Structure formats: structure tokens, C-alpha cells
Amino acid sequence: MTYFDYSDADYPIRDDIGAAHRAYWKKLASPGAWWTGAERVAIASESRNALVCGLCSERKTALSSYGSAGKHDHDDLLSEVAVDAIHRIVTDQSRISQKYVNDNVEGGLSKPAYVELVGVVVATFSIDEFHRSLGLVPEDLPKPHKGQISRYLPKYLTEDMGYVPTIRNQRPEGDEADLWPGDKTANVVRALSLVPDAVRDWRELGGAHYLSFDGMQNFGRDDSRALNRMQIELVAARVSAINQCFY
């Protein structure tokens, strides 16, 4: 794929942001734990389709998002269950429930596959929103790579939060030792840990768009950033409120 040249943008954009985006597109195209490279790229594509989906627009304004009949506007590579999950995550995430996640399992979308799907949607949407916020068109999605999914599951899982299993809140061990520093972490970090690579992808993008784990411990000014920590948190809090993200 041809990457966007951020040097042509109307605003100065840090080099590490472009590097993080390029790294993610490369990983997106490769097979994951539960989805092939082609399916992962299709998930990313559906996260864009959701913004112009007629059913999603109707459902967003409905008293109950589970009562609207119809079919999503979508491509054909993914199942209806997967497409519905993608579109809900983008357009109506505040009304996703435990019952909905459990019903998806009955419909063939396992919890690990759902978590990887969430990770792809979150990462793609984050990059796309970065572009839209600066008046830039979204980048072309990469061509998928062939290969086998791993079906990898981490050890030491628990179901003490959220709607899916996560790695327990203590210092990660073994192959997951790199996921977070210290003996405990925030639940938002653990949220995707059923699929460890989804945490790694989210962490790398978050380090460029927001703050690295180390950077979160710095409450002063980072010379690599134009904003100080208080300004960063003010912007983050305002955007979260507008998006109804109340974590």
C-alpha cells in the first residue's frame, strides 16, 4: 500500500505517529489469533462502512437498538454476526450488553474472536479519526497476507470484569510479561488481554496518539509534545465526554 505522506499535511505531525500507523497497517494485514489477514482487513473495512450504514443510522435513534429489523450495508466476506458486532462497536457501543456478547457466541462469534475484532475496529477507527480530525482522507487499507491463524489463548484468565475473560490483574507472566509494567494495571489495559497482540497493537498506537505507559507517569511536560500533561488530559476528557466514553 501507499502510505500517507504526513509532511504534506497542513499541520506539523510528529514522525512517531506516522511510524505507528505504518506499523499497525502491516500487522493488520497478517493473520491474527482468530482471524485471517483477509478477514482482519475486512473487519477494518466494515468499521468504515458502519459510518454510512442505513440500518445503523436508524438503530442509533431507536429506543432499543435490538428491535430494528433489516440488514447492514456491508461486503460479503464476514458473517452477519461479525458485521453486526463491528457496526455496533462503531455506532452504538454504549448499548452493547453481556447478553449480546453471549448471543454472539451462540451465533458463531466466540469471545476470543470478538475481542480480536474489537481490537481491529478500535485501532482502525483511531487512525481514521486522526485523519478526519485534520481534514485528511483515510488511508487505503493494506492487501492481506496469507497464513494460518494461531488460535492462541493466554494463561491465567479470569472473568472479574467486563463481558469477556481477561488476564488477571497482576504482573503478567510468560509470553505476556511485556503487556504492562508493574504488579497491577488499569482495567482498560486488561480489556483486550484475551488476545494479547490486540493489547500490544493498542498500546503502540496509544503511545503515539496519547501517552506511553512510561509517559503516563510524567505529570509535567514532555519535550516531544506540544501540549503539557494538563492540556493533554483536558483534550482527552473533552473528547471522551463527547464520545460518551465515561471510563
Taking only the tens place, the pLDDT of each residue in 185-244 is 999 999 999 999 999 999 999 999 999 988 888 888 888 888 899 999 999 899 888 877
Q: Is the dihedral angle over the CA atoms 28, 235, 137, 16 positive or is it negative?
A: negative
pTM: 0.92
Mean pLDDT of 26-35: 98
Q: How far apart are CA 172 and CA 166, in angstroms?
A: 11
Mean pLDDT of 89-99: 91
Taking only the tens place, the pLDDT of each residue in 101-137 is 999 999 999 999 999 999 999 999 999 999 999 999 9
Taking only the tens place, the pLDDT of each residue in 123-177 is 999 999 999 999 999 999 999 999 999 999 999 999 999 899 999 999 999 999 9
